[in-house]
A and B are shown apart, each in its own frame.
Chain A
Amino acid sequence: MRATFPYLGYDTPAIRAFFDCIGAEVVEPLPVSKRTVELGVRYSPELICMPFKVTLGSFIEALEAGADTFFMAAGARRCRFGYYHYLQDRILKELDGRCRMVPVGQYSPYDFFFRVMPRVFEVSPWRVMRALRLMLVKSVLTREFRQGLNRLRAVDFGRAEELRQPTYEMVVKAGTPAEIAAARRELRRTFATNGDRPEVAVGLVGEIYYTLEQGANQDLELELGRLGAEVLFERSLYHHLRYLLGVDLSSYRSRRLAGRYLRECPGGEALRTVGEAMFYRRRNVDGIVHVFPFTCMPENIALEALQKFSEETGMPVLSLSFDEHASPTGLVTRLEAFVDLIKRRKRGRRLHRG
């Protein structure tokens, strides 16, 4: 068995750690590129949402590299995401009859530990728990990597980009909990900003795949960093895992805050999008960037709530919807305009205060 999973931005090494720890042979997915998206679009139904197309592209690339067992998050609820694996399974089977899709039900930890994973890998539930623990520990590291990188980019973009590759390699290499702890200390040293504070801070909210996957969202964190804006984010693999294990308090906070606009969860991450935006406002963030795939159902409802929120509080909100035709130039122009607006507002406010 040669296992693979969809690429997930800087959190990919954490997922990889899970499979390594469980003792599976892994075909590492390639970073999402133009080709990934094109492949995905070619084999997908026309009207389906973008994460389906991109993850399918990621799978097809892994199939070419020799993978035969595909792991995809599942769990059918209100949003389309839970159904991806049915269609992807059919499409992959048409391409290669020998391959197999393993849907990983997100909402039943019991099945995950005691049924799905032990059966697929023929290991004990104990081993699965150990692998998950390692993934959790490593996802803290990948999250800190992204946080540190985003902050340093806003302060000293050139140095951040120089340090990015070597530091990321260190993150990828850290394999045991002790190595991960050492890597975290090292990370804090390399990404230290010596007290320099970025001029602008924006909060990133939106659909989980598009907030995490740089290849899909055209690396807007990089572009914002280049413009001198630090990107704060809550959404990460670490938080998602904690949420699935039922120990993520921030999801309750988001639900409570978002209740002002949305009383019922439309599914997906809509409540978190709105709740996090409101939370960032309390933390004195200068603006909100909201990303989601084209025709995403829950995020379109959240978009309406965010617009109302922006009207009521004066918080600048930039909503970006991505499809296969999204162009990097268009994105950069919009981000530039957004950051300019924020900077001008801040300066204006400072002048008024005298």
Chain B
Amino acid sequence: MKIGLPRALLYYRYGDFWRRFLTELGAEVVLSRKTDRVLVQDGVTRVPGEVCLPIKIVAGHLAELAGRVDAVFFPRLVWQEDRLYGCPKMIGIVDIARMMYGSAPRLIAPAIKGGLFWPHFRAGLEVNPNPAAVLRAWRRSASLLRRTEVEPSLPEGERRVALIGHFYNIGDDYIADALVRAFVDRGYRIVTKEELPRRVLRSRTGFAGKIRWTYERELYNAFMYLKQRVDGVCVVISMGCGPDSLVAELMREEAERQGLPFLQLVIDEHTGTAGLVTRIEAFVDLSRRRVRAAA
């Protein structure tokens, strides 16, 4: 059985695990191709115009897989431990996928409500009806779910910038490659929330405890953790992202209070790299001048 995995959204967090899990179940895993302009333009036509870029991108990936596979594995994150929700569009895109596909390819979309084991167990049975085989596949792949528990080393004297954005945006080269390179070329080290330990990301202190979106809480915690430890913060928001529109505002206020250089980049399918790089250059100059003034 050929099972397709769209290379978008949750893939950037659970992709390795899913690939191993499905392979262990005896399926042939087919990945959609890396995001490119054609794929994005195709995605744009398949979802309402006001949704955010990552949703448009995933629609493109889903369409790309359509004729090539027997089934598409596309779990739905409703909520995780501590009743932390996924965002409405992430929940709803699975239904949009179902409407898009109709009867073929089959959509394997377990709903994650709490832990990961049961939804994956049930989904595994759809691929391989032998429960023992599903359990074995889970055991062999679950190690890939483990996240780092150590804090990243952030030595003195190094120039760093915190890139605060959702992993499905930062992880997608089509969106973030130019940004990352713009910083790296100017001698900055990029720190993202993926390098931070779970303990930091899941912290409930302060406003973070009130945020009920799982990835948004991680972003906010990452920001609060990194703001003392970096020379500047760059927040990447996709146009139309609901949770970000709120939380980024709080981050901006906090950064202003601290006098920390703060750059907010809003991206959509029309964003050109040239404009972004110019803004990053200006931002880098500003933070350099600030360091010099302090010294």
Contact = CB atoms under 8 A, between A and B. Distances in A.
B48 A300 contact: yes
Contact of A267 (B88, B239, B241, B253): B88
A77 B212 contact: yes
Given A78-B88, A301-B89, A304-B99, A295 B249 contact: no
B7 interface: no
A84 to B, nearest CB: 9
A294 B95 CA distance: 21
Contact of A268 (B88, B207, B212): B88
B266 to A, nearest CB: 7
B85 A77 contact: yes
Contacts of A98: none
Contacts of A301: 88-89, 91-93, 95-96
Nearest to B86: A78
Q: Tell me if A's interface is mostly helix, strand, loop or mixed.
A: loop
Contact of B89 (A77, A87, A300): A300
A304 B96 CA distance: 7
A107 to B, nearest CB: 12
B160 interface: no
Nearest to A292: B50
B251 to A, nearest CB: 11
Interface in B197-256: 207, 210-213, 237, 239-246, 248-250, 253
Nearest to A319: B48
A264 B96 contact: no
A22 B212 CA distance: 32
Given A47-B239, A87-B246, A308-B99, A79 B48 contact: no
Contacts of A264: 76, 78, 91-92, 94-95, 111
Contacts of B212: 76-78, 82
A266 interface: yes
A233 interface: no
B245 A263 contact: no
B178 interface: no
B94 A80 contact: no
Contacts of B89: 266, 297, 300-301
Contacts of A47: 237, 239-241, 244-245, 248, 266
Given A78-B88, A297-B89, A305 B99 contact: yes
A78 B50 contact: no
Q: Which residue among A265, A300, A321 has the maximum number of chain B CB atoms within 10 Å of its CB?
A: A300
Interface residues of B, number: 39
Q: Which residue among B47, B92, B240, B243 has the maximum number of chain A CB atoms within 10 Å of its CB?
A: B92
Chain A interface residue bracket vs B? 35 or more
Interface in A249-277: 261-268, 270
B51 interface: yes
B92 A262 contact: yes
A87 B249 contact: yes
Nearest to B239: A47
A79 B246 CA distance: 11
A45 B88 contact: no
B87 interface: yes
B95 A305 contact: yes
B210 A76 contact: yes
Contacts of B253: 90
Given A78-B213, A301-B88, 9 more contacts: A47-B245, A48-B249, A79-B242, A82-B212, A86-B250, A87-B249, A265-B91, A266-B89, A298-B92
Interface of A: 45, 47-49, 76-80, 82-83, 86-87, 90, 261-268, 270, 294-298, 300-301, 303-305, 308, 321
27 contacts: A45-B249, A47-B237, A47-B239, A76-B210, A76-B211, A77-B212, A78-B213, A79-B88, A79-B242, A82-B212, A83-B211, A87-B246, A87-B250, A262-B95, A263-B94, A264-B91, A264-B111, A266-B88, A267-B85, A267-B91, A270-B92, A300-B51, A300-B89, A300-B92, A301-B96, A304-B92, A308-B99
User: Closest 8 CB pairs between A and B?
Assistant: A301-B92, A266-B92, A47-B245, A297-B88, A266-B88, A45-B249, A267-B88, A297-B242
